[in-house]
């Protein structure tokens, strides 16, 4: 594992993608300031200052795509939960990979796949983690439902220490996860899931699906029941 720290960047994911060929497998790009952080579907990730984490993990696990890579964001969401639990918090996962504390978003994950024809050039797994913020800064975030670790535990968090713990835990079981897939993390994922057996709405590519979130299958997909019908979703946003 190699860690590269940048003072300022538009987006660590953009930087990792632009310079992908220069990075080997398991290179981590961290930026102290990120001025145009991205979420999914062109949404923004708000920079709450240097005492927070913005990073992208460059992964080059194989030369062709494997379906297990679609579960990397879920693997990462479990790692984040385990870290927050070290701070005495009770994080929950909203399918597929949002990490919430008391119903508020504390971290965001964006995984991008870079292909050239059928060849996999790499994966860029980006994560923003709110460690230190103020209630007034959080108000600027669209949706008004964000939090940070310091506000939940009433003390500042050292970003370097957190990053250190994050990298150790992420890479500890990473190779085994790639071999075994979602099933390897399934029970850790489900024990933190906050959406099961509830009537939910999921936005899937401009369409809204309604139903009861019945279970998450062995591929990490969400299975919804509605009027006796079953829908299996592999992407979407629970509203």
By CB under 6 A, what part of segment 136-175 binds ligand BT5?
A: 141-143, 146
Query: CB 189 → ligand BT5: shortest distance, Å?
Result: 17
Q: Three-state SS for 160? A: helix
DSSP state of 63: S
CA 192 from centroid of its chain's CA atoms = 14
Segment lying near ligand BT5 (by CB under 6 A), choices 54-62, 81-89, 164-172, 227-235: 54-62
The dihedral built from the CA positions of residue 217, 99, 143 and 30, taken in this order, carries a sign that is: negative
DSSP state of 21: G
Segment lying near ligand BT5 (by CB under 6 A), choices 32-40, 65-73, 173-181, 214-222: 32-40
Q: For ligand BT5, which residue of 23, 28, 38, 51 counts as binding (CB under 6 A)?
A: 38
Q: For ligand BT5, which residue of 80, 83, 100, 109 counts as binding (CB under 6 A)?
A: 109
CA 229 from centroid of its chain's CA atoms = 30
Is residue 108 involved in binding ligand BT5 (CB under 6 A)? Answer: yes
**Token representation of residue 17:** 């993608």
d(CA 78, CA 123): 19
Is residue 45 involved in binding ligand BT5 (CB under 6 A)? Answer: yes
User: Which residue reads 């949706």 in tokens?
Assistant: 143
- The contact set with ligand BT5 (CB under 6 A) reads 11-13, 37-41, 43-46, 48, 54-56, 105, 108-110, 126-128, 130, 141-143, 146
């Amino acid at each position: 594992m190699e860690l590269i720290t940048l003072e300022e960047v538009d987006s660590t994911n953009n930087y990792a993608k632009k310079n992908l060929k220069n990075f080997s497998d398991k290179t981590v790009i961290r930026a102290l300031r990120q001025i145009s952080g991205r979420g999914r579907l062109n949404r923004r990730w708000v920079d709450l200052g240097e005492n927070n984490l913005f990073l992208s993990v460059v992964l080059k696990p194989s030369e062709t795509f494997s379906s297990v890579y679609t579960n990397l964001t879920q693997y990462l969401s479990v790692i984040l939960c385990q870290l927050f639990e070290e701070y005495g918090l009770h994080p929950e996962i909203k399918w597929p990979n949002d990490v919430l504390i008391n119903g508020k978003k504390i971290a965001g994950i964006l995984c991008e796949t870079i292909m050239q024809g059928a060849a996999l050039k790499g994966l860029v797994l980006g994560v923003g983690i709110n460690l230190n913020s103020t209630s007034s800064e959080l108000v600027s975030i669209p949706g008004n439902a964000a939090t940070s670790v310091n506000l939940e535990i009433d003390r500042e968090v050292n970003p370097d220490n957190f990053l250190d713990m994050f990298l150790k835990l992420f890479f500890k079981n990473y190779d085994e996860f790639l071999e075994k897939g979602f099933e390897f993390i399934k029970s850790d994922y489900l024990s933190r899931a906050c959406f099961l057996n509830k009537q939910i709405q999921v936005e899937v590519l401009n369409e809204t699906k309604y139903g009861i979130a019945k279970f998450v299958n062995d591929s990490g997909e969400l299975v919804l029941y509605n009027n006796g019908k079953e829908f299996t979703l592999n992407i979407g946003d629970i509203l």
